[in-house]
A and B are shown apart, each in its own frame.
Chain A
Amino acid sequence: MSLAGRIALVTGAGTGIGQGVALMLAERGAKVALGYHSSDEGAKETRRRIEERGGEAMTVRANVARKAEIDAMAEEVARRFGGVDILVNNAALQLNFNFDHDDDAYDRQMNVNLKGYWQCMQAVIPYMKVKGFGRIVNISSVHGKRPTDFDTVYAMTKGGIKMLTRESAIELAKYGITVNAIEPGAIRVGRQGTKETKPFVPPELAERARAEKRDIRWKFPMGRVGLPSDVASLVCYIASEETEFMTGAAIRLDGGSMLL
């Protein structure tokens, strides 16, 4: 599946899942715009790695809680790259609170994770309409279905993203734009710049599994947590031309963990 000639915008591309997604989109031939807010260094690092391998990338800063900054980001990408064909909504906050914070925390969480996803979509729709082609991938979470127990409003935003995805799927179908969501489970992120090739489980879980003489598959059926590259492969598939009939779907990507 080549994505040669396609233009992708990935938000939150300086770290974790966003970085992994950007790298693989570039590997498949897409020009990739790396949206970032606080991870300036990470975005530059992602760009360097893409260019090293002969790919094309640009960095663009925007706070996705602010519509004006989102619109400016989309315009800049379109001007420099000639449009936006693929949007990967990935920039999100996870503030870790249940009912013990003030109303501002609620607003912050909602404004980035839900309003931000919508307004990033809104900003790129005109460019996708022109070409009659668009792929929007909303990175959500298994917590769009199952509660977190430690992050109430975060889970609310993910429940909202599920419906945002379904609504926009039926509304934008007439433009040849598909909208789908990926619901990853535990994904190993952090430690930037490392090669993520080894199967990995969190040390404390591995320790407990050892102590109780249990196979780690009791927690992670595939024997490991997910990697950004797992998410990236699915994004690349959804972004391809092969998936034009798939829209409004939410695909759980957790190695089977939620089935346990």
Chain B
Amino acid sequence: MRLRGKVVFITDADSVSGRALALRLAAEGASLLLNSASGGQEIEDELKRIRQSGAEALVVSADLRRSSETERMLESAAERLGAVDILVHNNDLVAPISVENGEESVFLEVMDANAKTAFVSAKAVGARMKAKQSGQIIFVSSIHAEKPTGCSFAYSAAKGAVKMLAREAAVVLGRHGIRVNAIEFGPAEGDDELFRSDISMLYDSYRYKVPNGVLGTHEDLAGLVLFLASDESRYLNGADIRMDGGFLMHYMDFKTKKPYEAGGSP
């Protein structure tokens, strides 16, 4: 029970990663504040399991692009759960948009969903952590903070922005005992569909570009989040940890573990 007595705020709890994070962190004794656009509907099973295990979970549906709404939500959640000790920013929205023909509305939607929510939630939670002179902020980001997608430039620009937000916050909030780190996760099952590109072959045979030929899961992600949330990582600050099984070490698709029968190199 490494998070006993801690209050963890997880954003976009409806996502696959959000659900895995909620289950894992609750199992370690954390009380959860879950931001869920569906008002908890899409995570009914998880909520049941979490509450049956005796852990506390409070569901909210705040628009994290707006400071005033976010502040209000945190204020009233604190009355129920106590102040947030750990923020896990987990918002992740991918939508196709090209540099040449992209629409401004799509750009803003993707930027705001990924980057503005990160800024607003870090700002609001950070101010409260500052009062206690302790806290952890974890940004669940993507390998596309480094590697272009070839299908959604706004997504990778947002992740590049979050990378710098994490570094800024590590310095600015770091003086108040708050640690801020980012995880650059990927690829997970289905990312070839999510990042379908006619420019880049990044996701062709993507499983085999991971040297060991095995994709990561959101449970793997939850393990790293737990480490970053716990005191075991107390000297980690301003780090962006790439968690990709070695995926980005590949050069094109040479020397992968893809079997010859499946079209791999002999």
Per-residue 0/1 for A115-149: is the Cβ within 8 Å of any B Cβ (1 yes, 0 no)? 10011011001000000000000000001101111
Q: How many residues of A contact B (CB 8 A)?
A: 41
* A118-B158 Cα distance, complex, nearest whole Å: 13
Let me know if A98 and B67 touch, CB within 8 A: no
Let me know if A152 and B165 touch, CB within 8 A: yes
Residue B104 CB within 8 A of the other chain:
yes
* A110-B200 Cα distance, complex, nearest whole Å: 27
* A162-B146 Cα distance, complex, nearest whole Å: 9
* A123-B148 Cα distance, complex, nearest whole Å: 21
**Least CB distance, A33 to chain B, in whole angstroms:** 21
Given A114-B157, A153-B119, A171-B150, A98:B99 Cβ within 8 A = no
Let me know if A98 and B148 touch, CB within 8 A: no
Q: Which of A67, A103, A156 contacts B115 (CB 8 A)?
A: A156
Most buried by B among A122, A160, A166: A160
Residue A170 CB within 8 A of the other chain:
yes
Pick the interface stretch among B18-26, B36-44, B80-88, B121-129. B121-129
Let me know if B157 and A170 touch, CB within 8 A: no
Q: Which of A114, A119, A148 contacts B168 (CB 8 A)?
A: A148
Let me know if B104 and A115 touch, CB within 8 A: yes
In the complex, how many residue pairs between chain A and chain B have their CB atoms under 8 Å apart? 132
Q: Which of A122, A152, A159, A166 contacts B172 (CB 8 A)?
A: A152
**CB interface residues, A 145-178, toward B, < 8 Å:** 146-149, 151-153, 155-164, 166-172
* A76-B164 Cα distance, complex, nearest whole Å: 36
Given A99-B122, A115-B107, A156-B165, A166:B99 Cβ within 8 A = no
Given A163-B145, A163-B156, A172-B99, A155:B168 Cβ within 8 A = yes
Let me know if A159 and B163 touch, CB within 8 A: yes
* A111-B101 Cα distance, complex, nearest whole Å: 18
**Least CB distance, B136 to chain A, in whole angstroms:** 16
Let me know if A163 and B160 touch, CB within 8 A: yes
* A193-B42 Cα distance, complex, nearest whole Å: 62
* A152-B163 Cα distance, complex, nearest whole Å: 11
Q: For B104, what are the chain A residues with a Cβ–Cβ distance below 8 Å?
A: 67, 115, 119
Let me know if A102 and B111 touch, CB within 8 A: no
**Least CB distance, A210 to chain B, in whole angstroms:** 28
Let me know if A155 and B150 touch, CB within 8 A: no
* A115-B164 Cα distance, complex, nearest whole Å: 17
Q: Which of B65, B126, B153 contacts A163 (CB 8 A)?
A: B153
**Least CB distance, A137 to chain B, in whole angstroms:** 15
Q: For A166, what are the chain B residues with a Cβ–Cβ distance below 8 Å?
A: 147-148, 156
Residue A106 CB within 8 A of the other chain:
yes
Let me know if B153 and A171 touch, CB within 8 A: yes
**CB interface residues, B 141-159, toward A, < 8 Å:** 144-145, 147-150, 153, 156-159
Q: For A103, what are the chain B residues with a Cβ–Cβ distance below 8 Å?
A: 65-67, 116, 120
Task: Rank and list the top 4 A-B pairs by shortest CB-CB distance, nearest first.
Answer: A159-B164, A167-B153, A163-B160, A156-B161
User: What are 29 A-B residue pairs whose CB atoms fall within 8 Å in the complex?
Assistant: A98-B168, A99-B126, A99-B173, A103-B66, A106-B119, A110-B116, A114-B157, A115-B108, A118-B157, A119-B104, A121-B99, A144-B160, A144-B164, A147-B172, A147-B238, A148-B168, A155-B168, A156-B161, A159-B145, A159-B164, A160-B158, A163-B153, A163-B157, A166-B147, A166-B148, A167-B157, A170-B150, A171-B153, A172-B100
Q: Which residues of A contact B (CB under 8 A)?
A: 67, 98-99, 102-103, 106, 110, 114-115, 118-119, 121-122, 125, 143-144, 146-149, 151-153, 155-164, 166-172, 248
Q: Which residues of B contact A (CB under 8 A)?
A: 65-67, 98-100, 102, 104, 107-108, 111, 115-116, 119-120, 122-123, 126-127, 144-145, 147-150, 153, 156-165, 167-173, 199-200, 238
